[in-house]
Structure 1
Amino acid sequence: MNTAITEVKSLLERLPEDSTYEDIQYHLYVVEKIRRGIGRAEVEGTLSQDDVELKFGQWHTK
Structure 2
Amino acid sequence: MNEIKEEAKKLIDRLPDQATWDDIMYQMYVKKKLDVSLKAAEDGEVVSHEEVKRRLLLR
Q: 1:55 to 1:4 in 2, by over 3 A?
A: closer
Gaps of 5+ in 1: none
TM-score using structure 2 length: 0.73
| Structure 1 partner of 2:53 | 56
- The amino acid across from 2:41 in the alignment is A
Q: 1:54 to 1:41 in 2, by over 3 A?
A: closer
| Structure 2 partner of 1:19 | 19
Higher RCO (CA 8 Å, separation ≥ 6 residues)? 1
1:20 is displaced (CA, Å) by 0.6
Gaps of 5+ in 2: none
Hey, what's the Cα distance between the residues in 1 that align with 2:56 and 2:27? 33
Q: Percent identity?
A: 30
Q: How many residues align?
A: 56
Greater Cα radius of gyration, structure 1 or 2: 1
Q: Deviations over 1:20-57 (max 9, x none)?
A: 1011000000000000000111112556xxx5247537
